[in-house]
A and B are shown apart, each in its own frame.
Chain A
Amino acid sequence: MVVALVAGAFGGIGAMGRYLADMWVSQRRSGEFPLGTLLINVSGSLLLGVLTGLVWYHGASGI
């Protein structure tokens, strides 16, 4: 339960960060294409992959 709450808290922080980053990008690049969303998704996937790799291959403690 505590783990779920911690995950939720970090999820909230991440959602806010994602929202702000999207806002930051879309206010500078005003096109029809959702560039901010693309950047967030691509960078998020990259970070998630790196993190998963660290946990799997370098012994960082998983949950």
Chain B
Amino acid sequence: MHARAATSFRSAGGRDHHVDAVAHPAREGGELLFTSGEEIAARRCAVVEGVHCHRIKYTYLYNRYLHYTAWRYSHQHHPASSSMPRRYRTLNWRCYIGDGSAEVGRTGLTARVANGSCSERRRSHVIRRPRAAGRRTPPHGRSPRSGPRCRRRTPDDPDLLPAGLSRRRGVAVAFVGIGGFFGTFARFGVEQAWPSVAGHLPWATFVINVSGAFLLGLLIEVLIALPKEPMLRPLLGTGLLGAGRPTRPSQSRLSSWVRAATSPLRSNTSSCRLRRVDRRGVRRRLRTVASHSASPPEELAESGAD
């Protein structure tokens, strides 16, 4: 499952460039291949910026591909917070190439010209509404109406379903109930078989709680590694182990960490910077990793953002 798009564009310097872009929504990342790319890469590689994503992700350039990863989490003070389910908006991110003349996002690739003319504009898998030419709205001041239109996918995780009753939510609740039945049954059995002595620590309860916490942590790690099986966590985690479910942001951040740590390409990065940018009263954390670019890519986040 990925969106592939290609575009040619003329950069501000008058050069023609061809870019192949692949966006992997499932991996929250993508690749860009610059066919004419040396000068673009040398000039300023790119900065990944989530449109509604206030957590900045990794970018790194490797073999003329730009890899990037987005946090799927947005700041709660976003202006559009009240009108859209928060977690849907965060799935939309984009990447700016060079001087902002092209961008790729989860929904495909659009070519956009900052200071020159666009020789070709092609979209594939683009669901976003075309933007009016020349109109540049800041990404954080976007009103809900003029915002990018994403098709709402039904999320795999039942915790992320929109509010209200739905069939999937009912299934999730049923799984929780089944897991809760067996969990309580097993716990009761252990407590009966290993009764606590008055005046002593209730060892059965202690062992059950500690092992349950351990198993819950193990389960989360296993679920991250496994292919997506959305009902396993309600069944085993919330139900059987009976613990509070971990919130989604922490889990996705954890999985991002896992991916970042296990990605072989990440080891090629030579510099890692952490910088905070305060813009429009929203504190944003910029973490940019660029192995080949000498110029600071953070500046592009300011100039390349539409």
Partner-B contacts on A (CB < 8 A): 3-5, 7-16, 18-20, 22-23, 26-27, 30-34, 36-37, 40-41
| Pair A13/B159 contact, Cβ less than 8 Å | no
User: Which residue of the partner chain B has the closest CB to A29?
Assistant: B76
State which of A4, A9, A32 has its C-beta within 8 Å of the C-beta of B250: A32
Q: Closest Cβ of chain B: how far from A15's Cβ, in Å?
A: 3
Given A4-B189, A16-B176: A11 in contact with B249 (beta carbons within 8 A) = no
Question: Which one of B76, B81, B159, B178 contacts A12 once the chains associate, using CB atoms below 8 Å?
Answer: B178
What residues make up the interface of B, taking CB atoms closer than 8 Å to A? 73, 76, 81, 86-87, 159, 163, 169, 172-174, 176-185, 187-189, 192, 234, 238-239, 242, 244-247, 249-250
Determine the residue in chain B with the shortest Cβ distance to A12: B181
Partner of B188, one of A7, A12, A30, A36: A7
Check A15 against B244 for contact (C-beta < 8 Å).
no
Q: Sorted from nearest, which 5 A-B pairs have the closest CB atoms?
A: A11-B184, A15-B180, A37-B244, A8-B185, A12-B181
A4 to B249 alpha-carbon distance, docked (Å): 37
Q: Can you sample 5 A-B contacts with CB below 8 Å?
A: A7-B185, A13-B177, A16-B174, A19-B173, A30-B86
Q: How far is the CB of B211 from chain A (nearest CB, A)?
A: 17
Given A27-B163, A31-B76, A32-B249, residue A19 in contact with residue B185 (CB < 8 A): no
Please report the C-alpha to C-alpha distance between residue A13 and residue B242 in the assembled complex, in whole angstroms.
12
**Distance (whole angstroms) from the CB of A41 to the closest CB of chain B:** 6
Q: Judging by beta carbons under 8 Å apart, are A19 and B184 in contact? A: no
Q: Which residues of A contact B174 (CB under 8 A)?
A: 16
Beta-carbon contact of A4 and B185 below 8 Å: yes
State whether A34 touches B173 (Cβ < 8 A). Answer: no
A7-B185, A27-B163 given; name 12 further pairs at CB < 8 Å: A4-B189, A8-B184, A9-B181, A11-B185, A12-B180, A12-B181, A12-B239, A13-B180, A15-B238, A18-B238, A34-B247, A40-B244
Partner of A16, one of B180, B185, B188: B180
Minimum CB distance partner of B81 in chain A: A30
User: Known contacts A10-B184, A11-B183, A31-B76; is A16 also within 8 Å of B177 by CB?
Assistant: yes
Complex alpha-carbon distance, A5 and B182, angstroms = 9
Q: Nearest chain A CB to B16's CB is how many angstroms away?
A: 45
